[in-house]
């Protein structure tokens, strides 16, 4: 198998990494310690492995790592602000809203849920519940029954509206 | 583009065209398919374009469902396609998957083929020998089977744009990830009657999209319940469903009738 060097912007930092052609994006990010991205169905049905590639949500389980060459990859680890030294990181409004609204139980689907929701809010900062449901249709949660997830996304949109 | 064509020529069956990879990579991961080489066509600029003239919409081979859902040219020229695209699969598959890849894979449980056949759309194929154009209905020849030659690739999909007063409906039924049944209907309705015969195509039920014979419906009164029932009956007779995970053959045949009536209702209600 051929190896090649790719250059990508991973959660805001430029990286050069050597990868084999057949390596999947999920395996690349997890091998770099970004294990928030989860493998589940492995067939693009469940959304647990959702990451953003140039802002668009993709299933990292079915995306070749070489697709990231020259592009920006965002994973759940990139959302919180590092904060001042010695201080706790400040969570992204979506992360905080998921906590406040009890929008997860086991948490396995949550990174994918939040990344999908981030892509939505980046494109449409103030979606209604129906738009959220349509957008998140392909992200499966077996614990929550979805209602709290929709509420969390609505809440996060609302919080961003109130930001200065 | 020339490189892609010559690589295709050089490797033949040893290489697959690689676009969004939403089907190809799944098949490769499952071990159903193995290719020593993939030819990535996404870097080819000219395949990324969407353009419309007064009577033709041309969609390049690497344009994704996501892009079609948002493209202002599509929204203006063919809003029915934009709506269909917004409901294909899920956001991630839409973000990566292309319309051309969808047609080339020829998975029967797909959305676009029914509407494209109803509109008389064509695929433009290119190989070292030159280019040729086939109707989508001729291109898809069976389950996972197409008329694509070993040296060919799809470069574009061309959709003739109907006159302004033509109405379109696309309705589907889905229990699993992909549609179990789809109905596309294209017709002109004036003074409560069809002008000419409507075009009605059933997707996802048979191995290929099935056009319903509708010659008898030219000038039919669209609100007459007998029209709806006769159209549903013609559609039920046109399909040859089999029992599978999406339901029994009888159930699917029944649903075809129900959804043809819904499509008719939507044509009547819809603006031109
Ligand atoms: C979970 C899931 C749900 C889905 N749901 C739906 C749904 O609801 N409705 C629906 O319609 N579809 C659905 N699909 C299918 C999806 O639309 C198609 O997978 C996608 O559009 C295929 O395009 P691609 O670019 O990813 O093709 P690829 O995976 O890159 O290629 C698919 C096949 O086409 C060939 N190919 C690709 N481009 C060309 C070309 N230009 N010329 C010649 N050959 C080419 C490849 O060699 C390969 O054999 C679903 C898929 C998944 C995984």
Residue in A closest to B35 by C-alpha: A22
- Is residue A13 located within the same domain as residue A47? yes
pLDDT for res A160: 80
**Residue B62 near chain A (CB below 8 Å):** no
Q: B53 and chain A: CB distance < 8 Å anywhere?
A: no
pLDDT at B25: 97
Rounded Cα distance between B113 and B109, Å, is: 9
Q: Any chain B CB within 8 A of the CB of A148? A: no
What value does the mean pLDDT take over residues B116-140?
Answer: 97
User: Could you tell me if B155 and B174 lie in one domain?
Assistant: no
Q: CA angle at residue A41 from B83 to B25, to 5 degrees?
A: 70
Query: What is the pLDDT, as a whole number, of residue A163?
Result: 62
Residue with tokens 């598959």: B93
Q: Show the CA angle centred on residue B103, arms to residues B102 and B106, nearest 5°.
A: 90
* CA–centroid distance, residue B122 to ligand 1 (Å): 17
Residues B122-137 have a mean pLDDT of 97
Task: Label residue B140 exposed, middle or buried (CB < 10 Å: 0-12, 13-18, 19+).
Answer: buried
Return d(Cα B257, Cα A55) in angstroms, integer.
42
Q: Is B93 on the interface with A (CB under 8 A)?
A: yes
Using the beta-carbon criterion (under 8 Å), do A47 and B92 form an inter-chain contact? yes
**B95 and B80: one domain?**
yes
- Name the H helices within B19-145: 24-29, 65-70, 72-77, 79-85, 91-96, 99-105, 112-118, 136-139
Number of domains in chain B: 2
* A29 and A72 assigned to the same domain: yes
Interface residue of A43, A50, A62 to substitute, partner B, most B CBs within 10 Å:
A62
Identify which of A58, A64, A137 has the shortest CB distance to residue B95: A58
Residues 6+ apart with CB under 8 A from B154: B61, B100, B103, B104, B123, B124, B125, B148
Provide the residue range defining the domain that includes A140. Answer: 93-162
Domain range enclosing B28? 2-160
**Domain end position, chosen among A53, A78, A103:** A78
Q: Which of B17, B136, B156 has the most ligand 1 atoms within 8 A of CB, as the residue to mutate?
A: B17
The answer to whether B99 touches B123, Cβ cutoff 8 Å, is no
Q: What is the pTM of this model?
A: 0.97
pLDDT band at B146 (very low <50, low <70, confident <90, very high): very high
What distance in Å separates the CA atoms of residue B238 and residue B164, rounded to the nearest whole number? 29
Determine the distance in angstroms separating the CA of B258 from the nearest CA of chain A, rounded to an integer: 24
User: What is the predicted pLDDT for the residue at A131?
Assistant: 98
* Residue of B89, B84, B114 whose CA lies nearest to B22: B89
Please give the helix or strand (H or E) that residue B18 lies within, else none: strand B15-18
Cα–Cα distance, A44 to A66 (Å, whole number): 18
- Number of structural domains (chain A) is 2
- CA B58 to CA B264: how far, in whole Å? 28
Taking the centre of ligand 1 as the mean of its atom positions, its distance from the CA of residue A151, in whole angstroms, is 33
Alpha helix stretches (DSSP H) within B126-248: 136-139, 225-238
B156 with B170, same domain? Answer: no
HSE at residue A99, side-chain half, CA atoms within 13 A, is: 5
Note whether A128 and A154 are same-domain residues.
yes
* Statement to judge: residues A72 and A137 lie in one domain: no
Domain boundary among B135, B160, B185: B160
Query: Do B18 and B87 fall into the same domain?
Result: yes
Do B80 and B132 have their domain in common?
yes
ipTM: 0.96
Which tokens sit at B69?
């859902």
Interface contact B92-A43, CB threshold 8 A: no
In a shared domain, residues B198 and B265: yes
B83 shares a domain with B17: yes
CA distance B11 to B5: 10
What CA–CA distance (Å, rounded) separates B41 from B130? 18
Q: Per the CB < 8 Å rule, is B66 touching A56?
A: yes
Count of residues for chain A? 164
3-state secondary structure of B73: helix
Which ligand 1 atom sits nearest the alpha carbon of residue B125? 42
Q: Is residue B92 less than 8 Å (CB to CB) from chain A? A: yes
Q: Which region, left, alpha or beta, applies to residue A115 given φ > 0 means left and ψ of -120 to 50 means alpha?
A: alpha
* Whole-number Å distance between alpha carbons of B239 and B249: 10
Distance B61 CA to ligand 1 centre (A): 11
User: In the listed set A78, A101, A126, which residue is the last one of a domain according to the structure?
Assistant: A78
Report pLDDT for B271.
62
What are A25-72's pLDDT values in tens digits?
999 999 999 999 999 999 999 999 999 999 999 999 999 999 999 999
For residue B75 the two structure tokens come to 């929204």
- The set of protein residues with a Cβ atom below 6 angstroms from ligand 1 is A 44-45; B 16-24, 26, 41, 61, 88-89, 93, 96-98, 100-102, 104-105, 110-112, 148, 153-154, 177-179
B183-206 pLDDT, tens digit each? 999 999 999 999 999 999 999 999
């Amino acid at each position: 198998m051929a190896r090649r060097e790719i250059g990508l912007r991973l959660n805001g930092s430029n990286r050069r990494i050597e990868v084999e052609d057949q390596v999947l994006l999920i395996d690349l990010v997890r091998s770099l310690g970004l294990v928030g991205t989860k493998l589940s169905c492995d067939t693009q049905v469940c959304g647990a492995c959702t990451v953003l590639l140039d802002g668009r949500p993709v299933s990292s389980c079915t995306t070749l790592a070489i697709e990231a060459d020259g592009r920006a990859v965002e994973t759940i680890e990139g959302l919180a602000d590092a904060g001042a030294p010695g201080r706790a990181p400040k969570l992204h409004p979506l992360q905080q809203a998921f906590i406040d609204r009890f929008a997860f139980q086991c948490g396995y689907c949550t990174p994918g849920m939040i990344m999908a929701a981030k892509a939505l809010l980046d494109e449409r900062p103030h979606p209604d519940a129906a738009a959220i449901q349509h957008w998140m249709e392909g992200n499966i949660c077996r614990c929550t029954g979805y209602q709290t997830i929709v509420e969390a996304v609505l809440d996060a949109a609302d919080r961003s509206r109130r930001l200065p | 583009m020339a490189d892609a064509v010559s690589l295709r020529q050089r490797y033949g069956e040893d290489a697959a065209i690689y676009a969004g990879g939403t089907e190809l990579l799944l098949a490769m991961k499952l071990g159903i398919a193995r290719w020593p080489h993939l030819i990535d066509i996404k870097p080819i600029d000219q395949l990324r374009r969407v353009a419309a003239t007064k009577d033709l919409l041309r969609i390049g081979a690497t344009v994704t469902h996501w892009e079609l859902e948002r493209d202002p040219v599509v929204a203006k020229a063919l809003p029915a396609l934009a709506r269909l695209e917004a409901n294909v699969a899920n956001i991630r598959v839409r973000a990566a998957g292309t319309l051309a890849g969808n047609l080339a894979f020829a998975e029967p449980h797909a959305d676009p083929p029914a509407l494209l056949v109803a509109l008389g759309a064509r695929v433009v194929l290119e190989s070292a020998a030159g280019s040729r154009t086939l109707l989508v209905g001729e291109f898809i020849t069976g389950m996972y089977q197409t008329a694509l030659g070993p040296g060919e690739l799809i470069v574009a999909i061309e959709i003739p744009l109907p006159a302004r007063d033509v109405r379109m409906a696309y309705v589907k039924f889905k229990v699993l990830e992909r549609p179990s049944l789809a109905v596309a209907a294209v017709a002109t309705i004036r003074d409560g009657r069809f002008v000419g015969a409507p075009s009605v195509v059933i997707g996802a039920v048979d191995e290929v999209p099935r056009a319903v014979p509708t010659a008898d419906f030219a000038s039919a009164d669209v609100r007459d319940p007998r029209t709806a029932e006769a159209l549903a009956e013609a559609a039920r007779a046109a399909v040859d469903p089999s029992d599978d995970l999406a339901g029994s053959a009888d159930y699917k045949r029944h649903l075809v009738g129900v959804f043809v009536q819904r499509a008719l209702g939507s044509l009547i209600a819809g603006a031109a």
